[in-house]
Structure 1
Amino acid sequence: MIDTGSADTWYMPLASWVLSANLRRILKDGFVCTNGTATQPQSYCGSAPYFKGTFLGGQIKTENFNASYSSGEFLSGTVGYEKVTIAGITVAKQLIGLVDYAYWPAGAVGLLGLAYPGVERGVWNGSTSSADGDGNPAHDRVPYSSIFHSMWSEGLVAPSFSLALPRGHHSSEDEGYIAFGGLPPVQVEGHFTSTPIVLTPHYSTTALSEYAINIDATYFSSYTNTTDTGGNTIIDSGTVTINARNEVAEAYNKLFDPPAINPPDLGIYIIQCNATGPKVPFVVKIAGTEFKLPGESFVLSDVILSENGVSGEYGDYCFSGIQEAGVWDAEQTFINLGRPFLENVVAVFDVGAGEMRFAPRKY
């Protein structure tokens, strides 16, 4: 998985403990599968290719890997140095995590974290994760260079990368592009719109951490009374939804056919997996440019609740692609633009220029 919202790079090795709550899992021979209370057959967790290597540059036995994500996943394991090659670009000695215990619903064997090194990291001082973050400086997070930072700081690529994610259900072999130091081989409509990368006060008031920008607004034509003034927004390829201000998300979710629902015991908008998306586009306005996202991009029929830890009467439902924004504090709302936005644009993450650029992708 490519994640612009986190900075760690990690892999699943051959043998791991993998929690499963009716989730498709990712390992093969030697792993142990459990539903959190009892060991289950390996078929309960599923399988896919796994990482067969070890730390060519050596394990760091005085550190451990312990990461968690806003959607509930968590992982722990060991830390060390490995040679990492992507598209012919090799970082000879990159710090990575090898996971040996995980709750991870995505069908991926690892994650490539591309955010700034300053974002909260999953590498900690101490040989085990039990004391991580206990207030003792000996158990604090360890600063280190993320994979993309290593690439450009070592002169391997220009200090930028770009993404062109695919529309739909990711069923084809050609699922999109990432280009380091350049643009992906896809067509765009019109011109690129640029906007500065800004601080994310929740993380730091002095150093860049996330790929955050200030957007003008989000809205849609059939509900013009429901608009917002935009604000600090994170561009996050690891998130399958757009998180908008609550009144905007509520109004747009009513436009699915049948409408999305928000059960109190779930706290998220869900839809029938065969629902029809809103007929009016969802608009994200950035630096004066309107990016119109088709309603079908918000029908996440491949993100089924039963495969993401939800059972019972809602297990056969799917996630809506637009959710309410979280709240970090009384004055700051957590807004992000995930998959429904990124599958409709070419996005350039230009660290060297300190800006992001977007152009509508031509299909």
Structure 2
Amino acid sequence: MFLVILLSFLAITCLGSPLTSPAYPTALGEVVHSLSLPGFQFRRVKPTTPLDLAAVKKVQNHFKISQVTHQEGGKRHRSVTSRFAQVQRDNGGFGYENITVVNAYAAEYAVELFLNGHSATVVIDTASADTWVKGANFTCLNPSNHTQGEDSCWFGPSFQGNFTGNPIPDQHFAIKYGDGETIQGRLGYMDVQLANITVPGQEIAMANQGIWHGNNITSGVLGLAYPSLTSAFLGNDFEDTSQFNSVPYSPLFTSMISDGLIEPYWTIAMERNSSTGLVGIGGMPPVDVSASHVASTPILIANLIQKDITAYEPSFYTIVPSGIKYGSSSMVSQYPFILDSGTTLIYLPPDLAEAVNAQFQPPATYLWQYGTYFTDCDAIPPFFAVTIGNSDFIVSPKDLLNRQVKDPLTGLCQTGIASGGSGPYVLGIAFLTNVVMSVNIDTGYIEFYSHEFY
């Protein structure tokens, strides 16, 4: 059934008319959004407590994230655009155009974990759920699954610790991030410390082999998404990733909540021009939102990958903004967007991306070799805002023109607005830099605070 739905989704080359029917309640008290994606139904994550936007919660448990610089030859494949592109290609579609080229310039943020007392620097990823580190006996594979030199995977230092006890018997870890990047290994338990909070006996993975394009700094990944996206499987065959053998488990953030160590939400605040940011675990990090306007929107459930559990359990942080405003135009529509700290750009429906890029002065031009739009490096970006609830969250002109990505032939610079094809669409760092985003698992909402000027 899912394959039929997915193929219907993939066949779309351009979305139709905007949504005209409102969300409506079901017998279960949930909300179903009838979106302009044929064959798809998006359900709201059922809240467990009332939403209180007035409660701005400060916590001491926060940590700093630092952007990892691009290494020659390395690609950024952890972006959700890459993952969805791979799903589409696996089912006869074309995926996002030239996503490998785009991801070569995508952002990644690193954070320090302590595993059984040993330090590990890992990539923080809002679009995956597993926590894993590269083991001391890692085998680096090429795209043909042949062994190559370990330095070809561009990892940072190997993790020198061990599981507490033996690996979990008759289970293995296997994940595919996109465009052929894979990691396999064993699962076990360690005491994991993040932001001075320790989860004893947390299940994580130790990577034994894989195809990886790293940054020579980080040695693994910390996932912040829901348990439905974990990648544990029955058996010892690393190649077996059948969803029927999937064994969902409690990832790190979920364990912190279930163990009563934190309040059930996390908050991210990225800083412009410094390649850093703050993440609060269980509350608001020390950022000033006293003058911010605030809005919220429900987290939605949507089966966007080949995993049946994501049809009825939360997975990605998916929202539906009320609309998009650009130049002097506005669009009242409801499209699904994924919030992803590993994606640099904002990916819109094709017609809308074209219209926004036409508003640059001078207008931006689509460059097929990148699959994105470019314009003069001193161009004037248009007004652009994402409407959530009744609030407009303005994207700074500084984030609408990516001067770090310059085409050597034309001398043009990349804009922050790209086409997302048939979707789903993505609000990446170009948007997230302009908000403080608080994901509240308890209420089933994401709260946004304006963060335009800092």
Q: TM-score, normalised by structure 2?
A: 0.63
What is the RMSD computed on CA atoms of the aligned residues? 3.3
1:65-144, aligned counterparts within 5 Å? Answer: 65-70=173-178, 73-99=181-207, 100-106=209-215, 108-118=218-228, 120-133=229-242, 137=244, 140-144=245-249
Aligned counterpart for 2:288 among listed residues 171, 187, 190: 187
Q: Distance in 2 between matches of 1:320 and 1:98?
A: 38
How many pairs are equivalent? 322
Q: Shift in Å at residue 345 of structure 1?
A: 0.9
Aligned counterpart for 1:2 among listed residues 109, 124, 132: 124
Q: Distance in 2 between matches of 1:73 and 1:260?
A: 31
Give the direction of change, closer, same or farther, for the CA distance of 1:93–1:278 in structure 2 (3 Å limit). farther
Deviations 1:288-315 (A, max 9, x none): 111111233244455799xxxxxxx88x
Q: Distance in 1 between matches of 2:403 and 2:176?
A: 25
Aligned counterpart for 1:325 among listed residues 396, 402, 420: 420
Q: Distance in 2 between matches of 1:303 and 1:37?
A: 33
1:286-305, aligned counterparts within 5 Å? Answer: 286-300=388-402
Q: Shift in Å at residue 286 of structure 1?
A: 0.5
Give the direction of change, closer, same or farther, for the CA distance of 1:41–1:198 in structure 2 (3 Å limit). closer
Aligned to 1:51: 159
Q: Shift in Å at residue 127 of structure 1?
A: 1.0
Q: TM-score, normalised by structure 1?
A: 0.77
Give the direction of change, closer, same or farther, for the CA distance of 1:124–1:37 in structure 2 (3 Å limit). closer
Q: Distance in 1 between matches of 2:365 and 2:333?
A: 24
Aligned counterpart for 2:327 among listed residues 221, 228, 231: 221
Q: Distance in 2 between matches of 1:155 and 1:243?
A: 37
User: Is residue 381 of structure 2 the alignment partner of residue 279 of structure 1?
Assistant: yes
Give the direction of change, closer, same or farther, for the CA distance of 1:64–1:36 in structure 2 (3 Å limit). closer
Q: Shift in Å at residue 14 of structure 1?
A: 3.4
1:22-61, aligned counterparts within 5 Å? Answer: 39=148, 42=151, 46=154, 48-61=156-169
Amino acid of the structure 2 residue aligned with 1:187: D
Q: Shift in Å at residue 97 of structure 1?
A: 1.7
Aligned to 1:162: 267
Q: Distance in 2 between matches of 1:98 and 1:304?
A: 38
Q: Distance in 1 between matches of 2:406 and 2:128?
A: 24
Aligned to 1:27: none
Aligned to 2:432: 342
Give the direction of change, closer, same or farther, for the CA distance of 1:275–1:155 in structure 2 (3 Å limit). same
Give the direction of change, closer, same or farther, for the CA distance of 1:12–1:228 in structure 2 (3 Å limit). farther
Deviations 1:162-193 (A, max 9, x none): 001222362xxxx1111111101112342321
Give the direction of change, closer, same or farther, for the CA distance of 1:253–1:37 in structure 2 (3 Å limit). farther
Q: Shift in Å at residue 161 of structure 1?
A: 0.9
Aligned counterpart for 1:208 among listed residues 314, 319, 333: 314
Q: Distance in 1 between matches of 2:155 and 2:444?
A: 40
Aligned to 1:269: 372
Amino acid of the structure 1 residue aligned with 2:219: V
Give the direction of change, closer, same or farther, for the CA distance of 1:352–1:167 in structure 2 (3 Å limit). same
Give the direction of change, closer, same or farther, for the CA distance of 1:153–1:236 in structure 2 (3 Å limit). same
Which ranges of structure 1 fall in alignment gaps of 5 or more residues?
Answer: 21-33, 306-312, 328-332
Q: Is the 8 A contact 1:280 1:295 kept in 2?
A: yes
Aligned to 2:351: 247
Q: Shift in Å at residue 256 of structure 1?
A: 7.5
Give the direction of change, closer, same or farther, for the CA distance of 1:194–1:41 in structure 2 (3 Å limit). closer
Tell me the SS of whatever aligns to 1:142.
Answer: coil
Q: Shift in Å at residue 52 of structure 1?
A: 2.2
Q: Shift in Å at residue 79 of structure 1?
A: 1.7
Tell me the SS of whatever aligns to 2:399.
Answer: helix
Q: Is the 8 A contact 1:193 1:287 kept in 2?
A: yes
Give the direction of change, closer, same or farther, for the CA distance of 1:149–1:288 in structure 2 (3 Å limit). same
Q: Shift in Å at residue 19 of structure 1?
A: 5.6
Give the direction of change, closer, same or farther, for the CA distance of 1:196–1:131 in structure 2 (3 Å limit). closer
Deviations 1:238-264 (A, max 9, x none): 22222211112223345386835331x
Deviations 1:96-125 (A, max 9, x none): 12223132345532211111112x332221
Tell me the SS of whatever aligns to 1:155.
Answer: coil
Amino acid of the structure 1 residue aligned with 2:385: V
- Higher mean alpha-carbon deviation, 183-192 vs 10-19, is at 10-19
Give the direction of change, closer, same or farther, for the CA distance of 1:131–1:41 in structure 2 (3 Å limit). closer
User: Is residue 441 of structure 2 the alignment partner of residue 351 of structure 1?
Assistant: yes
Q: Is the 8 A contact 2:353 2:417 kept in 1?
A: yes
Amino acid of the structure 2 residue aligned with 1:230: Q
Amino acid of the structure 2 residue aligned with 1:283: A
Amino acid of the structure 2 residue aligned with 1:344: N
Q: Distance in 2 between matches of 1:340 and 1:202?
A: 23
Q: Shift in Å at residue 94 of structure 1?
A: 1.4
